[in-house]
Chain A
Amino acid sequence: MAEPAAAAAASYPATRKRLTEQRKSRLTAYLFISPFFVLFGIFGLYPILFTIYLSFYKWDALGPMRYVGFKNYELITSDPTFWISFSNTLIMGIMGTVPQIIVALLVAVMLNSALNKYKNIFRILFFMPNITSIVAVALVFSTMFGNNGMVNWLLNSLGLDSVPFNSGWWGVKIAISTMVMWRWMGYNAIIFLSGLQSIPTDIYEAARIDGASRSQQMLYITLPLLRPFILFVTLVSTIGALQLFTEPYVFLGQSGSGSTRQEGVTMVTYLYDEAFKNGFFGTAAATAVLLLIATIMFSLLNMLLSSRMGGERGGSKA
């Protein structure tokens, strides 16, 4: 962060007035940022601390709270559904983000290509999925992925067997990850595009003169220079994937019961059911704490992997 404001403050001539002037400007700054800290304190930090506290109590949100130690954690970690929700979250997370990011990168390269004369219109078209509500997306996809739906018709006409998209173990996961991919691919492509546009073109010209092929240019120039963007996109996608809720909730909760079946239960749908269906706020809080720990762990892993990747590909970095 550059600190030009310091210079501006220091250039004030009147030395006697400086102290009060500085104090006034500091006060103003604190005043300007205070709404965030006040609101976050009440509606963010306090609830988070309370969740951690709550995870050690048995509570139904109405009666008195009873301290139970690590009992809530034992309860959920011995519940098979919790582990199913955990593995579902990971499987759908990987299925929904890894291919998506690769495709987004390729799309960004194509959008950025000098060949492409219709950049603007394609950018808008690819970005459009991101503006729909997840509820609408889940509804549309549930008709397309219905047992007699369009996707199965397509599979059949290609000579393949139907896939039970709303009941099969893999079927549900494929349908839900497809929704995630459809919604976020274009958005991520636009983020990558902004990265590509920040790479100066003369680097490529120099590489071409040195005889680098297209794939070499991609591998040794584009990818290393895109590293901050790849890190940002994977980080945001990881956090999003761990919080997957609406897609499975709407896609599988269509029978009127509002319940999600085992094939699509995620950590957040599990948390939601524990708290708002079963009234077990303690175990729900413990689930939330485990979710936070998982988020931190996967975010760190992500950053570690991304920095490795850049280190190898980037060769000699200053």
Chain B
Amino acid sequence: MSIAVTAKKNPDEPGIGAKILFYLLLLFGAVLSIFPFYWMFVVGSNDKTAAFQIPPLLTPGTEFFNNFSRVLERTDFFRALMNSAVVSTTVTLSVVFLCTLAGYAFAKYEFPLKKTLFVFVIGTMLVPAQLSVLPLYVIMAKLQWIDSYKALIVPAMVNAFGIFWMRQYIASAVHNELIEAGRMDGGGHFRIFWNIAIPVVTPAMATLGIINFMNVWNDFFWPLVVLKNRENYTIQIALQQLFTNKDGLDYGMIMSATFAATLPLLIVFLLFSRWVIAGLTSGAVKS
């Protein structure tokens, strides 16, 4: 892929003007991508009028902690953050484990109806989540799970995308010889899965885990439906509550809260970003 930049012979070699334009365009896109994050911090760290100053205020101020203290008066911010962390972590651990298990079975075992069942799993991805929301709510009410973590965790413990994702990866990454060798040595099915397959597929598990964590963390619709009590709010619902505030909108407060709520995810992403993106680009979409 190293088309030598200095090789003048290449007729496709673009001129310096084209190169500048190329980077300007990319830079413009990148700025558009990250500007809202920066804007969140600008508004969150200035006083109330910052959001609507003309011309727009573009420098961070010093009011962040003042604004944020008003958030703490109105919502149990850290409690909501904890709730989100507990729910997202539990769901993610479960999804990664159960999807790897199912993906392994679909990739490496032979059993009747295998193809039909796999097509069925894929097909479930097409069904809009909202379709089952009403009865799901009724089920939760019957189980008395409304307003509890269980309502958020149990239905999300395994999903079709994860199974598809892991199956694709396991099919190519875990060699049959390894499994066979494990069997020869008298390993049980689960033991082979645990000791032979899992170590090989940890990168795919990590990618799935991060993607899933972000999805659950950012989920809004279902928590909005089942959570009633303030103490149980996830961070997204808590943020939305700040917004539906009748006595005028305090944007400094709101944005300091959104920024503080986005920060943990941003840090996690930046730490693992190479992994996530490499995982996505080598990912499961291909076949």
**B180 touches which one: A8, A33, A50, A124 (CB < 8 A)?**
A8
A5 touches B52 (CB 8 A): no
Q: Bound complex: CA of A37 vs CA of B101, how far in Å?
A: 13
Report the Cα distance A288→B128, complex, angstroms.
9
Contacts of A107 in B (CB 8 A): 26, 29
Given contacts A47-B135, A129-B36, A148-B54, 16 further A-B contacts (CB under 8 A): A5-B108, A6-B110, A29-B109, A50-B138, A114-B1, A126-B30, A128-B266, A133-B235, A135-B220, A135-B258, A140-B40, A193-B281, A194-B281, A195-B285, A228-B285, A253-B244
Chain B residues, CB < 8 A from A198: 286
Task: Please give, as numbers and ranges, the residues of chain A lying within 8 Å of B163 by CB-CB distance.
Answer: 33, 36
A229: contacting residue among B217, B244, B285, CB under 8 A: B285
Q: Does B81 contact A (CB under 8 A)?
A: no
Q: Are A25 and B109 in contact (CB under 8 A)?
A: yes
Asked if A292 and B128 sit within 8 Å, CB to CB, the answer is yes
B104 located at the interface, meaning its Cβ lies under 8 Å from any Cβ of chain A in the complex: yes
The residue that A136 contacts in the complex, of B56, B109, B239, B281, with Cβ under 8 A, is B239
CA A172 – CA B216 in complex, angstroms?
27
Map CB proximity to B onto A128-159 as digits: 1 under 8 Å, 0 otherwise: 11111111110111011010111001000100
B266's closest neighbor in chain A, by CB?
A: A131
Q: Return B27 CB to nearest CB of chain A, in Å.
A: 9
State whether A126 touches B33 (Cβ < 8 A): yes
Q: Does A281 contact B (CB under 8 A)?
A: yes
Chain A contacts with B in 1-52, Cβ cutoff 8 A = 1-9, 11, 24-26, 28-30, 32-33, 35-37, 39-40, 42-44, 46-48, 50-51
- Render A182-223 as a binary contact track against B, CB cut-off 8 A, 1 for contact: 100010001101110110010000001000001000000000
CA separation between A133 and B80, bound complex, in Å? Answer: 14
Is the Cβ of A35 less than 8 Å from the Cβ of B102?
yes
CB within 8 Å of A: which B260-278 residues: 261-262, 265-266, 269-270, 273-274, 276-277
Binds A, one of B60-68, B69-77, B151-159, B198-206: B151-159
Residues of A within 8 A of B149 (CB): none
**Distance, CA A29 to CA B192, complexed state (A):** 13
Distance, CA A288 to CA B12, complexed state (A):
53
Question: Residue A29 contacts which of B25, B105, B138, B220 (CB distance < 8 angstroms)?
Answer: B105
Q: Does B176 contact A (CB under 8 A)?
A: yes
Report B-chain residues with C-beta under 8 Å of the C-beta of A42.
139
Please name the residue on chain B nearest to A190 by beta carbon: B280
CA A61 to CA B134, docked complex, whole Å:
9
Knowing A125-B30, A139-B254, A254-B244 are in contact, say whether A132-B274 is a contact too (CB < 8 A): no
* Number of residues of chain B lying within 8 A (CB) of chain A: 105
Interface residue A175 (Cβ < 8 Å from any Cβ of B): no
Query: Across the interface, do B52 and A32 meet the contact criterion of CB distance under 8 Å?
Result: no
The interface residues of chain B lying within 8 Å CB-to-CB of A120 are 274, 277
Is B187 in contact with chain A by the CB < 8 A criterion?
A: no
**Residue of A with least CB distance to B277:** A123
Question: Beyond A29-B109, A140-B36, A140-B40, is A39–B130 a contact (Cβ under 8 Å)?
Answer: no
A82 CB within 8 Å of chain B: no
Q: A245 → chain B, closest Cβ, in Å? A: 6
A232 at the interface (CB under 8 A from B): yes
Q: Is the CB of B102 within 8 A of A32?
A: yes
The answer to the question of B51 belonging to the interface, with a C-beta cut-off of 8 Å to chain A, is yes
20 contacts between A and B (CB under 8 A): A1-B115, A2-B171, A4-B176, A5-B110, A9-B110, A26-B112, A32-B102, A32-B193, A107-B26, A115-B19, A120-B277, A123-B277, A132-B36, A132-B265, A133-B265, A193-B281, A194-B281, A228-B285, A288-B131, A292-B128
Asked if B133 is at the interface (CB within 8 A of a chain A CB), the reply is yes
**Is A299 engaged at the interface, CB distance under 8 Å to the other chain?**
yes
Please tell me if the beta carbons of B270 and A124 are within 8 angstroms of each other in the complex: yes
Q: Which 3 A-B pairs have the closest CB atoms?
A: A47-B132, A29-B109, A47-B135
Q: Point out the residue from B51, B135, B282 that lies within 8 Å of A50, measured CB to CB.
A: B135
Residues of A at under 8 Å CB distance from B? Answer: 1-9, 11, 24-26, 28-30, 32-33, 35-37, 39-40, 42-44, 46-48, 50-51, 54, 61, 107, 110-111, 113-116, 120, 122-137, 139-141, 143-144, 146, 148-150, 153, 157, 182, 186, 190-191, 193-195, 197-198, 201, 208, 214, 228-229, 232, 239, 242-243, 245-246, 250, 253-256, 258, 268, 271-272, 275-276, 281, 284-285, 288-289, 291-292, 295-296, 299
For B283, the chain A residues whose CB sits under 8 A away are 194
* Contact of B59 with A by CB under 8 A: no
Q: How far is the CA of A48 from the CA of B134 in the complex (A)?
A: 9
Q: How far is the CB of B12 from chain A (nearest CB, A)?
A: 7
Q: Is B173 interfacial (CB-CB < 8 Å)?
A: no
Contact, CB under 8 Å: A115 / B128? no
Taking a contact as CB atoms under 8 Å apart, the answer to whether B246 and A256 are in contact is: yes
Expressed in whole angstroms, the minimum distance between the Cβ of A118 and any Cβ of chain B is 8
Given A28-B105, A242-B128, CB of A137 within 8 Å of CB of B270: no
Q: Is B236 an interface residue (CB 8 A)?
A: yes
Query: Are B56's CB and A153's CB within 8 A?
Result: yes
In contact, A271 and B130 (Cβ under 8 angstroms)? yes
Cα of A40 to Cα of B163 in the assembled complex, Å = 13
Q: Is B214 an interface residue (CB 8 A)?
A: yes
Distance A239 CA – B225 CA, assembled complex (angstroms): 21
Instruction: With CB as the reference atom, state the residue of chain A lying closest to B225.
Output: A276
Chain A neighbourhood of B121, CB < 8 A: 36
